[in-house]
Amino acid sequence: MSRPLVSRGLARLPSLPHDIALQLPQGQQLGAADAPVKLLFSSWSSIARFKAGQVGALAEDYVEGKLQLEGAMRDVMQAVTRLLPGNPVDSDTAWWRALLQRARSLAAHTPAKDAAQIQFHYDVSDAFYELWLDARRIYSCAYYRDAAMTLAQAQEAKLDHICRKLMLKPGERFLDIGAGWGALLLWAAEHYGVIATGITLSKNQHAHVQRLIADKGLSQRVRMELRDYRDLPEAPEAPPFDKISSVGMFEHVGQANMAAYFGKIMRLMAPGGLVLNHGITAGGVDNRQLGAGMGEFIEKYIFPGGELLHVSAVLEHLARSGLEMLDTENLRPHYARTLWDWSDALEAQLDAAREVLAADGGPERAEKTLRAYRLYLAGSAMSFEQGWLALHQLLASRPTGNAPVEALKGARSAYPFSRDYMYR
| Residue count of the chain | 424
Percent of the chain surpassing pLDDT 70: 80
Give CA–CA dist 413/229, Å, rounded. 24
Tell me: pLDDT of 162 over 60: yes
Domains of the chain: 3-71 (no CATH), 98-423 (3.40.50.150)
Buried b (16+ CB within 10 A) or exposed e, 108-121: bbeeeebbebbeeb
Between residues 58 and 273, which one has the greater pLDDT? 273
The answer to which of 108-112, 162-166, 214-218, 314-318 has the lowest mean pLDDT is: 108-112
343 — pLDDT class (breaks 50, 70, 90): very high
Strand, coil or helix: 106: helix
For residue 33, what pLDDT is reported? 86
Task: List, for residues 20-51, the tens digit of each pLDDT value.
Answer: 888 888 888 888 888 999 989 888 888 887 77
**Average pLDDT in the chain:** 83
pLDDT at 119: 40
pLDDT in tens, 138-147: 999 999 999 9
pLDDT of 4 reads: 41
Q: Closest by alpha carbon to 368, among 60, 130, 127, 123?
A: 60
For the residues 72-76, what does the mean pLDDT come to? 89
Q: Looking at per-residue confidence, does 60 or 228 come out higher?
A: 228
Q: pLDDT tens digit string along 233-289? A: 999 999 999 999 999 998 888 888 899 999 999 999 999 999 999 999 988 787 555
What pLDDT is attached to residue 237?
Answer: 95
Give the span between the Cα atoms of 19 and 74, in whole angstroms. Answer: 12
